[in-house]
Each structure stands twice: as structure tokens, then as C-alpha cells.
A = this chain, B = another copy of it.
């Protein structure tokens, strides 16, 4: 696939910073040699904070969207959905809007990539129905209860590919699923070049996941 891809990044208050910037920094590096477009989508154009209402005293950062869910660019090829404590507020306006946007855009996507509890939002949107998927291991049982009964949740997996849906385990697993996706789309040499550029030791085996055991899922 030589043509430039348009990446959409979905954001909501209380996103986990590394869920976003692990994958996105791989794509930043990739885009130095392979042109990409990035749009950052949220329910508002105001800055979006990593701070979750569940941890109001934690430190936080804000990043800036480029589009709202109601005015997305027309040609997004790949949607990246992070997780984070913000996903827990399932009835909040930003999360309700995120789930509606995922449901609306999914049929037009070439790829959907989720990190951490982001797969819980995809499950709520119904786009994981009948698919195999994984999620954050500490939150595994919680996510499976968020309307994900029609999903075949895989406990021991760094990431899971089912059709055009790539779901990964918690936080740093987003780096590995993104490098695996880059290898799939652009070739192994390009993916290894990105990994070397960020001095990251890839997990190359999607089943290599010690954290299922750490969190008592085996």
C-alpha cells in the first residue's frame, strides 16, 4: 500500500497518554519517510486532558484536537482508539459521542486499531460483534462486561487481529500493535526501522503476554 493513509485519532477526557503517544510517535517517525495525514477528533475543539474525574488530583496534560466528531474529515482510513480511565464514564457525553462516532465511521475504515480499554468503546459501538479481541489486562473483566458479550475476548494476547480490527492489550502494547500494523502495511524493514529509531525492543509475537498472568487471567 504505497498511497498516503489518513489516520484519525479519537480523544476523550481521561485518555491514557501513552495509549496515544506510543502509537502516534511510531506514526510520527513513519511519516518522515512515508507521507501520512493525521486528524485528531473529539467531542470539542477545546484542549483534551488526560485527567480522569476518577483521579482528580493526578497530574495531567492537554492536547489539542483538529476536528470534532460532528465535522470529521471525509477520508479517514485508519481510526486509532486509545483507552484510559475516561472510558469508565460510559454514560458521559464525551464517551457517548465517541461510541456513536466509532459506530458511524467504522464501515468506511480500512483499519481500526485500539489500545487498552479503547476496545471497550469499540465493543460498545458494536463493531467487535462476533470478533476476537483483547484489552487492558487489569481491566479485562470490567471491559468484557461493558456490552462486550458478543465479543470473543482473548486474555493472553499482546494484540489480536480479526479482519481489519487490530486490538491490543494495555498501554505500552499499543506500540507493539502499531509496529506490527506498520510491518503489515509498509513491510517488516520499515517497521524495524521505526522501532530502532525509537530504540524500542518490539514484542513480535502477538501471543507473548506476561501480563495476563500478572493480573490472574490464566
Contact = CB atoms under 8 A, between A and B. Distances in A.
Interface string A120-142: 00000000000000001110000
A58 B215 CA distance: 38
A21 B17 contact: yes
Given A18-B198, A199-B211, A210-B201, A38 B60 contact: yes
A71 interface: no
Contact of A63 (B55, B63, B199): B63
A24 interface: yes
B199 A7 contact: no
Contacts of A200: 171-172
Interface residues of A, number: 49
Interface string A62-75: 11100000000000
Given A47-B64, A199-B137, A59 B17 contact: no
Interface string A35-51: 11110100000010010
Contacts of A22: 18, 21-22
A196 B197 CA distance: 25
